[in-house]
Amino acid sequence: MTLSSDMQLLPEQLGDAASRLRDRGGRMQMVYAWYPEPDRLELRYVVTEPHQHAFGVWICKPQGAVPSLAGIWPLMSWYEREVTDLFGVDFHDHPQPQRLVLHEGVSPVRPPFDPNYPPGATLAAEPVKQTIPEIAGAQADVQLLPFGPVRADVVESAEFVFFYIGEAILHYQPRLFFKHRGMEKRFEGLPADRAVILAERVSGVGSVAHALAYCQAAEAAANCTVPPRALFLRVLLAELERLYNHLHYFGHLCHTTTLKVGEAEGKLLEERAKQLNSRLTGSRFLRNLLTAGGLRRDLSPEGWLGDELEKLRQDFSTYARRMENTGSHLDRLITTGKLGRDVAFDQGATGPVDRASGLDRDLRRDHPYAAYGQLPLSVAVRKDGDAHARAQVRMAETETSIALMQSALSLLPDGPVRADFAVRPRSEGLGWAESPRGTLFYAVHFDSGGKLARVKIKSPSFSNWRVFPYTVHETNMMDYAINEASFGLTIAGCDR
């Protein structure tokens, strides 16, 4: 969809608008900032209106401090803190005014996204002790464990602070953004076609989802209509990405419950899925195919892919039944990391995480894109909100992904896979995708020369990392790794 002035709001009107949105059953998605002119900053609030396929956009042009909406919509807390760190906007009455992206001790000469930020200037930083909560009561009994940012194996950098007594976790505080790469800043000045390559590398295991959301945003800005064959092939690629991600998830989850055979079988199924990716596209991670206007080249899945997917489906069904009938595995998942429906909604959970807590939402069905509106889609929902429910949602989604691909193959039309694409100066657009981990948005703004002036990415792991601590407080150390695995989080997708 094109971004437009759906609603112009003064700062003092934001609170009432946010409350009314909640009262009528809508949802706040995110807020981001950008500079349409070097001396003029705008805030863009992306919202979901009930029973509407299009997303609404509120525009606010602050002259000073802006009221925080985190008291009405707690999920907005991290987005506002991110805008404060990168753009210098003051959100007054914010319940958590601490830094988020820029750690303590980092002293930029100006906010990093300020148009007057000196070219080539580095961020000065001094070692400063992290701000952590104070412990009231019997402090002598409480132990403090800072774990990370360097961790075992090849996992990404993050520091987790545990306050615990024995095995009981009293409080948990994650500290991310150790390797924030400034990906949104790197888009600035790129032409639309080259930016796809960057989008594919924001999160390696979400290459298709990121490229698809970006391309759809750019196509909306250019009023470009993608050919039907390309739309169906985009569904095929997106579901192949979901398939290998979910299969990896099950192998890793079995690893944390010490189910070694389950771990091996899950990773073998993942490998088979990636080999299908490579046979179809030449890339195990499905890269270098999407482009603004459609696909870079045609694919030939007819005559073989459907049979291979059916073999994989049968083997996965057997594997899933075995997991669901292994008592030692289920004992570690059931009741672990419970996330209630209200907390999931308020704090912004997305994807399999919120669907496992009883929230029936999926962009493929609720806001159809590509060819999803022409395909049958069953959305799996569970209510228990624990690690087992999150695994069950992904089991059902794996079956649904294969069914979607089979349907797409049966309806795949002939024809071109790429339309003419030309950027309109000073245009803008919004694109989205339901990635394997949840909702993903790209908002793009082009300058007068047709180059990218601003790209905003709302990634699902950014949302789910905010939610995750609510499932860790008042649990125990032995369940922590299982709980984290059940969320399917990535740090690269969060830090960007």
Residue at a domain's end among 119, 145, 166:
119
Residue 201 lies in a domain: yes
Q: Is the pLDDT of residue 465 over 70?
A: yes
Query: To the nearest whole number, what is the mean pLDDT of the chain?
Result: 93
CA distances from 86 to 32, 108, 132, 360, 467 (A): 10, 10, 22, 33, 22
| φ/ψ of residue 164, rounded to 5 | -145, 160
Q: Is the pLDDT of residue 4 over 50?
A: no
H or E segment to which residue 317 belongs:
helix 305-324
What total number of domains does the chain contain?
Answer: 2
Residue 253 lies in a domain: yes
Q: Are 213 and 75 members of one domain?
A: no
Q: Are 105 and 213 members of one domain?
A: no
**Rounded to an integer, what distance in angstroms lies between the CA atom of residue 210 and that of residue 455?**
12
Q: Mean pLDDT over residues 144-165, rounded?
A: 80
Residue 341 lies in a domain: yes
Range of the domain at 379: 189-457
Residue 483 lies in a domain: no
Predicted local confidence at residue 140, as pLDDT: 67
pTM above the 0.85 mark? yes
Residue 398 lies in a domain: yes
Token digits of residue 49 = 């209106």
**Rounded to an integer, what distance in angstroms lies between the CA atom of residue 370 and that of residue 228?**
9
Residue 370 lies in a domain: yes
Question: Strand ranges (DSSP E) for 148-230?
Answer: 159-165, 168-175
DSSP H stretches of helix in 334-476: 341-347, 352-355, 363-366, 387-411, 460-467
Q: Is the pLDDT of residue 317 over 90?
A: yes
Question: Sorting pLDDT into bands at 50, 70 and 90, what band is 157?
Answer: confident
Q: What sign has the CA pseudo-torsion 280, 432, 365, 226?
A: negative
Domain with residue 330: its CATH number is 1.10.645.10
What pLDDT digit, counting tens, does each position of 82-133 carry? 999 999 999 999 998 888 888 888 888 898 999 988 887 887 888 777 777 7
End-to-end CA distance of the chain: 24
**What is the bridge-based pairing of β-strands 290-291 and 168-175?**
unpaired
Predicted local confidence at residue 148, as pLDDT: 78
Rg (CA), the chain: 22
Domain with residue 111: its CATH number is 3.30.460.80
What pLDDT digit, counting tens, does each position of 229-285 carry? 999 999 999 999 999 999 999 999 999 999 999 999 999 999 999 999 999 999 999
Predicted local confidence at residue 178, as pLDDT: 83
Question: Sorting pLDDT into bands at 50, 70 and 90, what band is 1?
Answer: low
What pLDDT digit, counting tens, does each position of 207-235 carry? 999 999 999 999 999 999 999 999 999 99
Buried residues in 389-427 as b, exposed as e (16+ CB within 10 A): bbbbbbbbbbbbbbbbbbbbbeebeeeebbeebebeeeb
Predicted local confidence at residue 120, as pLDDT: 79
Q: Mean pLDDT over residues 417-421, rounded?
A: 96
Q: Are 107 and 222 members of one domain?
A: no
**What is the bridge-based pairing of β-strands 55-60 and 438-446?**
unpaired
Q: Mean pLDDT over residues 317-341, rounded?
A: 97
Q: Mean pLDDT over residues 325-351, rounded?
A: 96
Q: Mean pLDDT over residues 288-295, rounded?
A: 97
Residue at a domain's end among 66, 95, 119:
119
Q: Which of 143-152, 249-258, 454-463 is predicted with the least confidence, judged by mean pLDDT?
A: 143-152
Q: Are 89 and 215 members of one domain?
A: no
Q: Is the pLDDT of residue 3 over 60?
A: no
Identify the residue whose tokens are 């997303």.
55
Q: Are 320 and 425 members of one domain?
A: yes
Q: Are 115 and 254 members of one domain?
A: no
Q: Are 365 and 233 members of one domain?
A: yes
Q: Are 13 and 97 members of one domain?
A: yes
Predicted local confidence at residue 226, as pLDDT: 98
Q: Are 198 and 95 members of one domain?
A: no
Q: Are 332 and 436 members of one domain?
A: yes
Name the residue with higher pLDDT: 131 or 44. Answer: 44
Q: Are 380 and 301 members of one domain?
A: yes
Nearest by Cα to 378 from 362, 389, 357, 359: 362
| Distinct helix (H) and strand (E) counts, the chain | 16, 16
Predicted local confidence at residue 5, as pLDDT: 47
Q: Mean pLDDT over residues 288-309, rounded?
A: 96
Residue at a domain's end among 71, 98, 119:
119
**DSSP single-letter state for residue 471:** G
**Interaxial angle between packed helices 477-487 and 228-256, expressed in degrees from 0 to 180 and rounded to the nearest 10:** 170
Q: How far is CA 411 from the centre of its chain?
A: 29
**Rounded to an integer, what distance in angstroms lies between the CA atom of residue 460 and that of residue 438?**
5
Residue 282 lies in a domain: yes
Residue 124 lies in a domain: no
Q: Are 217 and 362 members of one domain?
A: yes
